Structure 1
Amino acid sequence: MATARTPEDEDPPEAGYLSSSDRDSDVDDDCQVTAKEPCRYYNKGHCRDGDRCTHPHVCKFALSGNCRYGSGCKLKHPRGGRRSRSSQAGGGAKERSTSRDPKIFDGQLYKWQLNDGTGWMDFSNDHVIEAQYCLPHTKSIKLYNTTHGVVNIDFNSMTVSGKSLRVRRLDDGHTEWVWFCTLYSKWIKYGDKDPEGKPTPANSSDIEQKFQSNPTSSFTFNIGAKTYEIKFAEMRQVSLDRKRKVTRRPLYRQRQAGAGVPQGHSVSQNIIVGTKPHWQFEGDHRGWHNFKNTRGTNETSDDIERKFQDDP
């Protein structure tokens, strides 16, 4: 039975923008942004017109703020790159959070945000998103009753399905990232024992260290005479005879009670999800029903929420 946690009530948000931490930190001084769209041939790897090209030779993903390679990108990144309104969620590269990404310094451990083209807006109750994102088997989460209707966040591609929205996760720089691989139809953490009781040879922290040094590279290890390679760009573990899925998720950190944006914070925070969470379950015909005291169940939405707050 699928379950979802949704807001019961919600007020429309007010306009707000992210501070300067939203800008690209690693850029080329000689790269200027113009009103023209970036050269598509340059972004594919080669433009035969070279310096004569009438379109800017810049990374199109950097312009829209979602280049997965950051300072390791082989293409030029513009200084103060513009935020493209035409950027479509799901049409770009996957997010791979690294130590080079923008950080938050307002006392929060992490922050989930949505961008509809007018600026980055905070999710309220984003600990629900974070708790699900920390689970390696969770592919996505649906949020109901938002100002943009139903928002379906794909955790693997870090995009919003079917909408012209962008999503991102920021943290305080102290997130512990954990690497998992599929084995016997289960997600196994690198370094832990597999279902047969044998420890996996590669360690999650070693993989993360290599990833932080170069998110476009790979991590190689051996089991006996057999060589395995974790390709970060593909998120696959490959050997001569097999490929396995790999994922990277944060270790969940529970916020202190009352933790959040300090009073007097200079940025106007947009509320995307309502302030009162509501728990539902999916019925036989894909309809969603509230948890309440009825025949067959004595758990209400408030009961579940209290338990969730105690231990997500």
Structure 2
Amino acid sequence: LTECTLLVNAILCDNDGCLEVRQLNAKLAQNSFGVKVANLRSVLFDDGKIAIREGRQRVPGGNIRPDSLVVAKTSLRLCQRKAGECGHCDGLHLCRYFVCGGCTFGPKCKNPHSLASPHNADLLQRFGLQDLTEKQLFQLLLQNDPFLLPEVCPHYNKGDGPFGSCRYTTSCTKLHVCLHFLQGDCRYGSRCKRTHTVQQGMKLFKGFSQENIQNLYKIYRNKFIINGQCGQSLTNSVGPSKPNSEGERNEICLYNIRKSCSFKEKCVRVHWNLPYKWEVLHRDGVTWKDLPCMEEIEKAYSDPTCNSSWDPLSASNIKQHVDFKTMTYKESPVRRLSTASSVLHPPHFILTTQWIWYWKEDNGLWIEYGQGGGDTTVTSETLEKMYLADKDAEITFQAGKHQYTLHFKGDEGSQTMFQQNLKYKTKREIRRRPRFVSPQDVNDIKRYCALLNNIWKFANQGAKNRVLH
């Protein structure tokens, strides 16, 4: 099975990272390595190595449809730290422009260009990618590593203006291209009001080779298939967005909380006046009811030392007890709705949720990652990005002289995340908690942003008047 997986990955990466099942079968039948094609089904159901977009051609017996698209997948990523700043981590130490095919510095580049370094060679061996050629590996990374490709602007893909609802027009740092075109499901074709080319966004592809620029459509399509987005719209050109998941339906709308949402009651996200909302499941097992004293519950939840929203030693006890470990209130399930994580949006988005990651010291203190004074390769921001990319991942990192593996998924079904010392096997609990924002903070942030917006409008109007005179 391992041999077949390696061969399938190599074949896919030689063919723009993807092939239809029937094409892949034909390529495997021609291989001269003696790998049996009978193992293909097992490889295709390995979610860690392969993503599939189901085809339309039906076949009897529930077999894989021959027109299904098979895409090569990996959880390997490039290290995001600057050259020389990272001692040891679970990311490849490579120049991103080298991977994208357009580094102009060559041997003079200050970032690594070698796959043969001990660090990179060890990682490739661990991920089972050691036999891929440089070109095959780079194709695999391009369609899997979210930091290599510019993000498609969601605001450009909704609204009626020439730039959709994007306020940044030509200065936007995200790609202004029809999302449905990249996903392969635009029903408007040449009549679409969104652009179907990347020419206007070429400045975002600095460091990309001409070959990769020509293949951008396939690279993006493969990326969306891997992320489970292909065939499902993140935004809709003519109406409110459709949720991709239960998590998106339970997300608090950033537009409504800031000022107003144009979709109003048709919006798939939750309209609420705070960036968090605590609810308890009613006895009917269907209806979610608001919990009282949400600010106090949120304040307790934001404190990593708190296991619940009630402290029997406190003089000012909160009237209800929400258990944060089991997420229950009087044995009924509790949920916390939230705005999107701050790592998913640029800094100008206000009232996103900033998640802080903590580890527990021997003395019981909770220390934020990257803030404890030690030489560590991870921060709250990097952990949050990795967690959102794969909530079952295990991440190896270094702090001082010690190496650790961080487990987002607890042992034997436990919900408790932990890190483990690779040498001594000791474990420390870790927690992910939001940065606390009070209702007063929300009002202050909104007033401050409104003030900046007015100053910006006034400055623009003044510039226009000077031009007219």
TM-score band by shorter chain is: 0.3 to 0.5
The structure number with the bigger radius of gyration is 2
Q: TM-score, normalised by structure 2?
A: 0.30
